[in-house]
Amino acid sequence: MSRQTLTFRQHSSEPAKVARLHQENGQSHEDQLGPEDVHIRFLAAPINPQDLMVVAGKYPVQPEHRHAGEPIPGYDGVARIERVGSAVSVLAPGNHVVPRAHGLGTWRSHATVPAPSLLRVSATLDPIAASLLKMGCGPAYLLLNSGARELRPGDWVVLNAATGVIAQMTIQFAKLRGCHTISVIRDRDDVDSARQQLRALGADTVVTESELAAPGAVASLAEGKRIKLALDAVFGESGERLAALLSPGATYVNYGSLGGAVGASIPLTQELLFWKQITFKNFRLSQALSQYSEPEQEDLLGYFADLFEKGSLQTPAVDRVAWEAGPRLEEVVLQALDDASGQSKRCVGARKKVFHFS
């Protein structure tokens, strides 16, 4: 058996400089199954911002698994079960599974892990879509439930970093609820293509950051709309413009800081706090999911998968990175990490990269 595992030697904000790939053939002690273990083969695993924070040492949950004494990164993905231990009854070979919690280490071709650390998902779902169920669909769905009041048909949601996976899914979930979206994207050369892509997903209005920053743009865009929820993945000036669009009694939610500026802030004006009575809050996926029991989490992922398979949701546009065993694999993987790290620093809303295992 050929297996490949990515590890990192030390913490760094430049993951490609501290990561290395281990390629091995033949049997390994890692193939040995305990009674409650399962052996899995990964099918797809995204490079999420949280993963880059883990490698940088800036994320509270560190990897649970190691190879050659070094931690294995990657917290999301989908795998197929190859073998199960003698005491495993709820999973079987051929089942597709995703990590139940952070720390599993998905940037590897194979793994032997405890069965309770996995959640079963549909085996007929496209692996790219399946790899995004928890940390792509999950935040999008739950963010729409984070307002001071429940969203109602006809309400509007404004969001930035709109070409990112979470935003793409939010647009689609909002549409399913009868709500409208204002999608804010960074200024770019392919702005027309980005607008077309988001409108195809259901976005009602797509504007660039510079268009929204123009004099009078906020008042003009907000006129006649019940903008009840702002979802900010950038913070700073971009988040400030989202807050300014909100209607009275609305909610602003921050769930990221892709802008990256140290010391960035959003001014809390009297208009926002007193006259509009805007609710400001943050969002953390782990905290939101803690309100769901394990069966409820499984049902939630199953609901997402069903929507994909019915065609009610479209798989977000991503950059697929071919994970194919061979002499060039380390170069390909490290380049993907370098690109993803650079994008996270330079390009808000850049396409997510997903390892696609063959």
Structure tokens at 141: 């769905």
pLDDT, position 275: 97
pLDDT above 90 (res 32): no
| Whether the predicted pLDDT of 348 surpasses 80 | no
Q: According to CATH, where is 3.90.180.10 located in the chain? A: 2-134+294-357
CATH 3.40.50.720 boundaries in the chain: 147-282
pLDDT at 244 over 70: yes
pLDDT tier at 125, thresholds 50, 70, 90: very high
Quickly count: other Cβ atoms within 10 Å of residue 210's Cβ. Answer: 11
The mean pLDDT of 157-182, rounded to a whole number, is 98
Among the residue ranges 27-36, 137-146, 255-264, 339-348, the one predicted with the least confidence is 339-348
pLDDT digits 0-9 by tens, 264-284: 899 999 999 999 999 999 999
Element (H, E) at 319: strand 319-323
Confidence class for position 61, pLDDT limits 50, 70, 90:
very high
| Residues found in the chain | 358
* Residue 30 in this model has a pLDDT that exceeds 80: no
Lowest mean per-residue pLDDT among 47-51, 297-301, 343-347: 343-347
pLDDT higher than 70, residue 260: no
> Whole-number mean pLDDT of the chain?
94
Question: In this predicted structure, what is the pLDDT of residue 351?
Answer: 84
pLDDT at 259 over 80: no
Whole-number percent of the chain with pLDDT over 70: 96
Q: Which amino acid makes up residue 5? A: T
Region 135-163 average pLDDT? 96
In this structure, which amino acid lies at residue 289? Answer: L
Which residues are the active-site residues? 59
Phi, psi of 126 (to 5 degrees): -55, 130
Q: For residues 212 and 221, is the Cβ–Cβ distance under 8 A?
A: yes
So what's the architecture of 2-134+294-357 in CATH?
Alpha-Beta Complex (3.90)
Q: Which fold has domain 147-282?
A: Rossmann fold (3.40.50)
**290, pLDDT greater than 80:** yes
* CA gap 54, 15 in Å, rounded: 10
Q: Which of 252, 248, 247, 256 is nearest to 267 (CA)?
A: 252
Segment 292-316 shows an average pLDDT of 95
